[in-house]
Amino acid sequence: MIMTTDVRRIQLYDTTLRDGAQSAGIHFSAEDKKRIARRLASFGMDWIEGGWPGASPTDDCFFELMRDRAWSHSRLVAFGSTARPGHPASEDPGLARLVACGADAVCIFGKSWDLHVTTGLGIDLQTNLDLVRESVAWLKLHVDTVLFDAEHFFDGYAANRDYAMQVLAAAADAGADSLVLCDTNGGSLPEQIGACVRQVVARYPDLTIGIHAHNDSEMAVANAVSAVSAGASHVQGTINGLGERCGNTNLISVIPVLKLKMGVNCGVSTESLRKLRRLSTFVNEMANQLPWQHQPFVGQNAFAHKGGIHVSAVRKASHLYEHIDPASVGNAQRVLVSNQAGRSNILAKLQQLEPDAIVDDAAVVRAVQRIKEMEATGYAFEGADASFQLLLRRATGQFRRHFELVSFRVYDEKRGHDEAPESEATVQVRVNGRLLHTAALGSGPVNAMDKALRAALTGAYPGLEDMRLTDFKVRVLSTKDATEAAVRVLIESSDGVRKWNTVGVSTDVLEATYRALNDAIEYKLVMDQVASEGEQVITDGSL
Ligand SMILES: CC(=O)SCCNC(=O)CCNC(=O)[C@H](O)C(C)(C)COP(=O)(O)OP(=O)(O)OC[C@H]1O[C@@H](n2cnc3c(N)ncnc32)[C@H](O)[C@@H]1OP(=O)(O)O
Ligand SMILES: CC(=O)C(=O)O
């Protein structure tokens, strides 16, 4: 860990609501944006770029909704471009909207790569310098803080250094408070960024120099960190790295790097840092994105240990295979049980699930063998803690079957192309020596089987009334012979208080379903029994 005595205060500038909204597949409503903005403000973000007034009714509505904000720290920023060529800045409707929208500050982008000036805007180089200067100067007459995003700065610096620096000078001379250097195409490398930022910082020691990096070369976080090391004191980015094309600097990674590894003050308290995972999850939900399970720091797998060697070591000292304490960013260690496991995985997992359990070594060895045999046939216990716990109970002789299946039969009948199919299941089970026989209709064969099985058992086990199947996933497992392919069924169940996951595998999807259902029901009965006997209830998640 590199800890420095850097005393700078690094400003965090979030552009999730502007650059993040430019991600393919992301659509924020004005209300969504308001909720995210509020969350970012309560996290303690210094700057929150809300959008581009005038670009869309959503952004206009958002700025209207934000007029009654009462933030103690964060400042709302309106984003836009320099004046359009041909308009004096004072008559440019775009600049006027930036001033009128009620934001605390304005950020405009301007071209700093000569090629973009001549080819993109189609104007000469001097006219662009005038546009930048006049736009910033006019804005400074009306708003306190003006930030200037030098678009394509690093490409511009490589192509025509003098011109790129003249663009910065035009903005600085006109009164810009911050010069933000943009790696707009995301193609620069950390060394280039560092060298370039160092030059700009040396030239403008009294201005805030910022970095805005895109992730097209998977370098955005590294480039932001390199810029800070080279003297930048303002980092732009988004939550979860949302943004145009491959995204933007991921603040969810940059923040802990700055705070925990570089020892730089970015204004995020230890308490706020512990909310990092929740902030990431919240934005995923608002953006309707599935969480990235391998996401550094906050992903479900960021501190998940699978290999037996790793688990053996983290049980002795967690930092042997963990670069930070997971709790510092609101995450937690996970131990996975799979065919990569050794005894340590089993013991660590058991300790998480049943801290008081005492299991002898021979039983653990049996459990490891059994897991590896079952995984070889297609089982996967990583996402099925309840099946894993039952397996352990079986290996340790602590399992008593609550019912015995005698038979099941499932019909699925469809009459005509446009008619909905009907499913019916009949089940015979033996409970305490009594033969019970039930039938049930369902919205599909799985639903019918689940209903019939629980209907047969609720007389003997009333707790099953509350149990529901809440998720059902089928995965076809590839084999040499596709017609013989096995399927893996993962079921999530809930009783309104707890939820748990089980797995079943077979070449027959209904048989695989039955196995997963059987574990789900047995697990519920074991939990109820443990609870009524006053032992600790074992669960792999709570609602
Ligand atoms: C690097 C970035 O991420 S910048 C942010 C990019 N974000 C977005 O574009 C999202 C919001 N944008 C929009 O809603 C629309 O593009 C608007 C409302 C801004 C403009 O829409 P339109 O007027 O229809 O123009 P259009 O989008 O086709 O083209 C952009 C225009 O801006 C001009 N332009 C580009 N950069 C600048 C600049 N820095 N200063 C002034 N004008 C600029 C372009 O030359 C082009 O003008 P032209 O059509 O005369 O060549
Ligand atoms: C301003 C901006 O979003 C960019 O240059 O990438």
Per-residue pLDDT tens digits for 31-83: 999 999 999 999 999 999 999 999 999 999 999 999 999 999 999 999 999 99
Whether 209 and 327 share a structural domain: no
* Position in ligand 2 atom list of the atom nearest CA 19: 3
pLDDT at 352 over 90: no
- Nearest-CA neighbor of 472 among 501, 508, 495? 501
Q: What is the pLDDT of residues 271-319, one digit of tens each?
A: 999 999 999 999 999 999 989 999 999 999 999 999 999 999 999 999 9
Q: Based on the domain organization, do 90 and 230 belong to the same domain?
A: yes
Looking at the structure, tell me whether residues 92 and 241 fall in a common domain.
yes
Q: Which amino acid is at 333?
A: Q
Show which of 376, 405, 433 is a domain's final residue: 376
The DSSP line for 318-367 is: GGGS-SS-GGGGT---EE--STT--HHHHHHHHHHH-TT----HHHHHHH
Q: Per residue in 420-440, pLDDT tens?
A: 999 999 999 999 999 999 999
Q: Are residues 71 and 129 in the same domain?
A: yes
Q: Look at residue 155 and tell me whether its pLDDT is greater than 80.
A: yes
**Distance of CA 213 from the midpoint of ligand 2 (Å):** 8
52 lines ligand 1 (CB under 6 A): yes
Q: Return the best residue to mutate from 147, 235, 244 for the ligand 2 pocket (most ligand atoms within 8 A of CB).
A: 244
> Residue 408: what residue type?
F
**At 534, is the pLDDT very low, low, confident or very high (cuts 50, 70, 90)?**
low
Tell me the CA–centroid distance for residue 55 and ligand 1, in Å: 9
pLDDT digit string, tens, across residues 96-142: 999 999 999 999 999 999 999 999 999 999 999 999 999 999 999 99
486-494 and 468-477 strand pairing = antiparallel
Which residues is 47 bridged to in the sheet? 13, 75
Arithmetic mean of pLDDT, 399-422 = 92
Q: How confident is the model at residue 479, as a pLDDT?
A: 60
Q: Is the domain of 204 the same as that of 243?
A: yes
pLDDT for 346 equals 87
- Choosing from 258, 287, 316, the residue where a domain stops is 287
Q: Are residues 237 and 349 both part of a single domain?
A: no
Q: How many folded domains does the chain comprise?
A: 2
36 found inside a domain: yes
480: pLDDT strictly greater than 90: no
Q: Are 227 and 199 in contact (CB under 8 A)?
A: no
Examine the domain organization and report whether 31 and 177 are in the same domain. Answer: yes
Residue at token pair 């700093």: 112
The per-residue pLDDT for range 510-533, each reduced to its tens digit, is: 999 999 999 999 999 998 888 887
Domain end among 259, 287, 315:
287
| 185 domain-assigned | yes
pLDDT for 539: 36
Q: 445-474, pLDDT tens digit by residue?
A: 999 999 999 999 999 999 999 999 999 999
Residue 133 lies in a domain: yes
Same domain, 100 and 201: yes
* Residues 218-273 pLDDT 10s: 999 999 999 999 999 999 999 999 999 999 999 999 999 999 999 999 999 999 99
Residue 137 maps to a domain: yes
In this structure, which ligand is nearest to the CA of 214?
A: 2
pLDDT digits (tens, 9 = 90+) for 367-396: 899 999 999 999 999 889 999 999 988 888
> Are 97 and 230 in the same domain?
yes
The answer to whether residues 209 and 86 belong to one domain is yes
- 494 has pLDDT over 80: yes
Order across the sheet with 499-506: list the strands.
468-477, 486-494, 499-506
Q: Evaluate whether residue 434 is within a structural domain.
A: no
CA angle 486, 487, 489 (to 5 degrees): 150
**364 within 8 A of 371, measured Cβ to Cβ:** no
> What is the pLDDT at residue 543?
27
| Residue 120 burial (CB count, 10 A) | 13
Q: Would 506 be classed as within a structural domain?
A: no
Nearest protein CA to atom 35 of ligand 1, as residue: 121
Q: Is the pLDDT of residue 535 over 70?
A: no
pTM metric for this prediction = 0.84
- The verdict on the CB of residue 182 being under 6 Å from ligand 2 is yes
Task: Yes or no: say if 276 and 299 are a contact pair by the CB < 8 Å rule.
Answer: no
Task: Name which residue sits closest to atom 19 of ligand 1, judged by CA.
Answer: 55
**If you search the block for the tokens 């660590």, which residue do you land on?**
348
Output the average pLDDT for the chain: 93
Is there an atom of ligand 2 within 6 Å of 19 CB? yes
Q: How far is the CA of 188 from the centre of ligand 2 (A)?
A: 14
- Which pLDDT value is given to residue 304? 95
Closest CA to 467 of 496, 502, 429, 447: 496
Average pLDDT over residues 196-213: 98
What is the ipTM, given to two decimal places? 0.95
Inside any domain, residue 500: no
> What is residue 5's predicted lDDT score, i.e. its pLDDT?
57
For 330, the domain range is: 304-376
Report residue 9's pLDDT band, with 50, 70 and 90 as the boundaries: very high
Residue of the CA atom closest to atom 44 of ligand 1: 121
Q: Whose CA is nearest to atom 6 of ligand 2?
A: 184
Q: How far is the CA of 86 from the centre of ligand 1 (A)?
A: 15
Domain of residue 142, CATH code = 3.20.20.70
Instruction: Give the residue, by CA position, lying nearest to ligand 1 atom 46.
Output: 121
165 and 65 part of one domain: yes
Q: What would the mean pLDDT of 183-204 be, rounded to a whole number?
A: 98
For residues 115 and 67, state if they share a domain.
yes
Is residue 477 situated within a structural domain?
no
State if residue 82 touches ligand 1 by the CB under 6 angstroms criterion: yes
Q: What is the pLDDT of residues 65-75, one digit of tens each?
A: 999 999 999 99
Q: Which of 49, 52, 139, 246 to mutate to test the pocket of ligand 1 (most atoms within 8 A of CB)?
A: 52
